[in-house]
Amino acid sequence: MKPESIIRRPIFLTEKSNSLRSASNQVIFEVLRDANKVQIRNAVQQMFNVKVASVNTMVYRGKDRRMGRGYAKMQNWKKAVVTLAEGENIDFFAEQSE
């Protein structure tokens, strides 16, 4: 699997993720459901050129949503809390110099 397919998107717009990022040097990602912790660690290290200390994962069940007159179930998804090594940082809003 490619690192781009393992990591779907970062989750950084919530209050909890911002507090984890500043206090504990942790970053939260939505990842592929089939990916394990080793694959997530390698993908983050390759994509962002940082050293990862640990990875914690959790699977969220999809919610039931109204679709017209009936109900539909949203997809299950996996969240990974990645703890970066001391002194490492990922800046998502940095300007890209080309």
Q: Render pLDDT for 1-33 as a digit per residue (tens, 0 to 9).
A: 788 899 999 998 888 888 888 888 999 999 999
Say how far apart CA 33 and CA 48 lie, in whole Å: 21
| Mean pLDDT, rounded, of the chain | 90
Q: Render pLDDT for 62-81 as a digit per residue (tens, 0 to 9).
A: 999 999 999 999 999 999 99
The 3-state secondary structure of the chain, one letter per residue: CCHHHHEEEECCCCHHHHHHHHHCCEEEEEECCCCCHHHHHHHHHHHHCCCEEEEEEEEECCCEEEECCEEEECCCEEEEEEEECCCCCCCCCCCCCC
